[in-house]
Each structure stands twice: as structure tokens, then as C-alpha cells.
Amino acid sequence: MPNSPTVRRMPTYLHRLFRMRNDGEQFVSSSELARYLRIEPIVTRKDIAMTGLPGHRRHGYVIDELIAAIKDYIGWNDKITATLLGAGSLGSALLGYQDFPSYGLDIISVFDANPDKIGQDIRGHRVFNIKLLPDVIKLNPPKIAIICVTSDAAQQVADTLVSLGIRYFWNFANVSLQVPDDVIVQREVIAGGFAMLASKIKYAEKGEHFNLGD
Amino acid sequence: MPNSPTVRRMPTYLHRLFRMRNDGEQFVSSSELARYLRIEPIVTRKDIAMTGLPGHRRHGYVIDELIAAIKDYIGWNDKITATLLGAGSLGSALLGYQDFPSYGLDIISVFDANPDKIGQDIRGHRVFNIKLLPDVIKLNPPKIAIICVTSDAAQQVADTLVSLGIRYFWNFANVSLQVPDDVIVQREVIAGGFAMLASKIKYAEKGEHFNLGD
DNA sequence: TAGATTGTTAATCGATTAACAATC
DNA sequence: TAGATTGTTAATCGATTAACAATC
């Protein structure tokens, strides 16, 4: 039932709403939020309608209520525990992502195969030897696994995690993980974003026009 | 004219095709690629049709030709020069991204405001003081700017870059940049991916069903 | 009241899916 | 020939956009 374009716009609304709340504002209109995202106000109204929150004609939406409604809609009121696989550059970057706690994401264990990394403390997280994966996960099972290992290693690590009962993955490796049907994988395709930009550049320079889209 | 879902699937096809080529294979069928991405073969055929490459009935597509056609379609045969703003954890992670050169992306300058970072060498790139931005950019103008500074600083940095003539942005900051209409911004919304996963988890645990989607 | 804003219903658009023809 | 695969055309589905009614 979650609708992808709507859900993906939600964090951007939230970011703006936090700032407005900080500035002491109480109400926001759909056109105000839409202008910031550079979309049509009707899209924003439809998005907000998905959360079930009613607005106030003539005044818009109550910012506090809207923040709560959006957070609830995208599941950011629920705490989600995670294990991070791979403490390389991308993994370390995610460990330093200040916003994660406010998203409800709590990284409770970190693994790497590199002896230089094992035992180290990265941003407050002790890095475990990936050989200890089964033991640590059994002792302290996370809800999701964040895959930041190399593309070559990703499938094997995923297999182990599936066998340990992990059913949700956030995959930053540049592969499509092969998992059982009841396992949910969210892929973060950084190459896909760059492909969009590169092809936009290519067509823009040809003078062709196209929808901005995502 | 580039179609978003199609373009975003292209790097995943490529990844698989590189591996197949490595294994010495010459032909690939749409159903083979589709199985890997867990989509319907007709989607793959439509995607490939966008590139204009004809296949061979009974045999599928010639892998070498398909790689070339996809790379051309998403602009990965053209070299794109970039400047990186922000050498924090995410910026450093991108500097270490081994795949970028094969995407045609060449980071030619790196900037940061942090005195601890300035002058340092990060993965072979000297970090410049962001105060030197105008001088360095004028001397060696990049095609795109990759924004990895904090959300607070992103808009100001973008304004400067726009005034220096940069017209393409890849934005990893969690804000919607306000730029002139002729400037193209590709946003990488990591929070959006997590929002998708979190709401999928929420609905999955309620026992509700929904399209897997992205 | 007039005006601004939400919210509903219908129309449009674009992407996916289905059916099947073409052909190697 | 039979079978596998591409490729075309039409149908469906889902998201966006448009029009406008409701109401504070």
C-alpha cells in the first residue's frame, strides 16, 4: 500500500517542516511545500491525503500534526535496529549519517572482513570480524541488514543473513541480490542516479527537451 | 526523452552484462536479464528497444553490442568532469567509488571548509579550501558539481557554483536546491530509500500486501 | 461577503503488462 | 518443421494533472 513516489517525497517535506517549525511557524499550505519541492500543489495535497491528516481550509496544515502524520506514514516513529555489513568508505559514511537516529534507524552492530578494520572503533561502533556474524546476530538480532560490502561479496553475505533469519535488506552494493520471495530488499542504486544525470546532460546538450522527473 | 525507470535499470543490466562477458558469453536473452533483476522479460525488451539495438530472434542480444548501446544511451561513453564539494564521510566515500571512472565520471577538484581537511590528500585528490572555489573552477571548469556538504551549507555553495556557470548538479544533501530553471539538479535521496524500506516493513508486518516496486 | 485553501471527482498521461505476430 | 525469441500493437494500471466544489 505505500506508494513509491509519495513515500520518497515525504523526507523532503519533513526536512522543510522541521525548519519551519524551528522558525516558529505553525501552519503550512500545500502550495508553500510544493514551491520548495518544485512540484504542483495538488501533488502535495494528494501526498498529505495519503497520511489521512485533514487540513484546515484557508490556513493549510498544522505543522506539528503534519510532521507526526508523515513520520507515522513512513514508519519513522518505529525504531528499526540494523546491522551494517562492510565498514569501508560507504559504510563509514553511513555510520556518520547524523540523521539516521531521527529516522528511527539504530545501527547495533558492524562487520568487516578487513583485519585493519576489525576491532577498530568507527564513530562509536566497534567493528566485528565478519566470521563472528552468526554468533553476534543470534545474540543481538537486528531487524534489517545494510549491505555495504563489495559487489563480489554481497550475495554470499546476504545468503548468510537470510539463513540467520534476516528478512529486510537495504542494499548499497551494485548488484541485484537473489533472495527468497518473502525477503524484502530495498536497493540504493547510486549508479542509477548518475545514469539519470548523465542522460539528462546528453539530451539537454542536444537541445532536446524532456520531463525533469526524478 | 530519457525515461526514468528505464534509465535507472540500465546500470543493473550493465553490471550483469560485464560479468557475463567476463565469463566468455556472447549472447543474452531478455528473459535471462529479467530473471536477474526480478522483472518481466517484456520490460527488458522494451528497455533495450529504447537504445535502438536490434536483437536476434532465437538467440537474443549480442552482449558486446548491448553493452555499447546501453552505455551510449545513458551517456557513459562521454567523459563528464566533476568538482566535489565536501570531503566529509560521504564525499570521501564517493572519492573511493571505484566504478566512477567506468561511468565516465572524472572528479577533477575537491573542496572543503574544514581546516583539518584542507591540503590533505584523500584517495589521490588534494582538498582545496572552499574559499578558493571561484579561482579553481575558473581555471579548470568542471561539467557538474557533486554536493556533499551539510544541508545547511548546500544552498549557498550551489548559488556560488551557479554564478560560476555550473549548470548540472548531483545533490547528496538532504535539501531541495533552489536554482534557475535552466540548471539541472539530480537529487540522491538516501532518506527516500530508507523511507521506502521503513514503510514496506511497516505494512509487511501488518500482513498487508503491496507491489514490490522500487 | 470575498478570498484562500482543502479536498473530491474526472481526465490525462506514461509505464507496465498482455497478446500475439514475425522470424530465425 | 518446431521452438525459441524478438518486436509490435493494444489493454491495463497507477500516478499526475485538471476542474471545480466545499468551506472556513
pLDDT tens sequence across B82-114: 999 999 999 999 998 888 999 999 999 999 999
pLDDT at A208: 57
Q: Residue B10: name the closest of A140, A135, A193 by CA.
A: A193
Measured between beta carbons, which residues in chain B are less than 8 angstroms from residue A104? 198
Q: Quote the radius of gyration of chain B (alpha carbons, Å).
A: 20
Q: How distant is the Cα of A5 from the closest Cα of chain B, in angstroms?
A: 9
Q: Which residue has the higher pLDDT, B3 or B81?
A: B81
Per-residue pLDDT of chain A (214 residues; tens, 9 = 90+): 577 899 999 999 999 999 999 999 999 999 999 999 999 999 999 999 999 999 999 999 999 999 999 999 999 999 999 999 999 999 999 998 888 999 999 999 999 999 999 999 999 999 999 999 999 999 999 999 999 999 999 999 999 999 999 999 999 999 999 999 999 999 999 999 999 999 999 988 876 554 445 5
Kindly report the pTM of this predicted structure. Answer: 0.94
pLDDT at B161: 98
Q: Cell numbers at residue B159, please?
A: 548559488
**Strands of chain B, DSSP E:** 27-28, 61-62, 80-85, 105-112, 121-122, 125-129, 144-147, 168-171, 184-187
Distance of CA B182 to the CA centre of its chain: 20
Distance of CA A7 to the CA centre of its chain: 11
Q: Which residue has the higher pLDDT, B206 or B96?
A: B96
What is the interface size between A and B, counted as CB pairs within 8 Å?
212
Q: Cell numbers at residue A91, please?
A: 559504510
- Taking CA B100 as the corner, what is the angle to CA A203 and CA B75, rounded to the nearest 5 degrees? 15
| Nearest chain B residue to A73, by CA | B199
Name the band, by pLDDT with cuts 50, 70 and 90, for residue B206: confident
Grid-cell match 495538488, residue found: A42
For B:86-105, CB contacts with A below 8 A are: 88-90, 92-93, 95-97, 99, 103-105
Measured between beta carbons, which residues in chain A are less than 8 angstroms from residue B73? 199
Amino acid identity of B46?
Answer: K
Answer whether any strand C atom is within 7 A of the Cβ of B2. Answer: no
Whether residue B212 is predicted with pLDDT greater than 50 in this model: the reply is no
Mean pLDDT rounded to a whole number for chain B? 94
Q: Quote the radius of gyration of chain A (alpha carbons, Å).
A: 20
Distance of CA B157 to the CA centre of its chain: 20
Q: What is the Cβ-side half-sphere exposure of residue A51, based on CA atoms within 13 angstroms? A: 26
A193 interface with B at CB cutoff 8 Å: yes
CA of B53 to C1' of C14 (A): 22
Helix (H) or strand (E) holding B136: helix B133-139
Answer whether any strand C atom is within 7 A of the Cβ of A92. Answer: no
Separation between Cα atoms, residue A104 and residue A144, nearest integer Å: 12
Nucleotide showing the shortest C1' distance to residue A211 CA: C14
**pLDDT tens-digit readout, B170-198:** 999 999 999 999 999 999 999 999 999 99
Contact status, residue B80 vs residue B100, Cβ threshold 8 Å: no
Separation between Cα atoms, residue B111 and residue B127, nearest integer Å: 5
Contact status, residue B82 vs residue B145, Cβ threshold 8 Å: yes
pLDDT at A3: 74
Measured between beta carbons, which residues in chain B are less than 8 angstroms from residue A177? none
Measured between beta carbons, which residues in chain B are less than 8 angstroms from residue A36? 176, 178
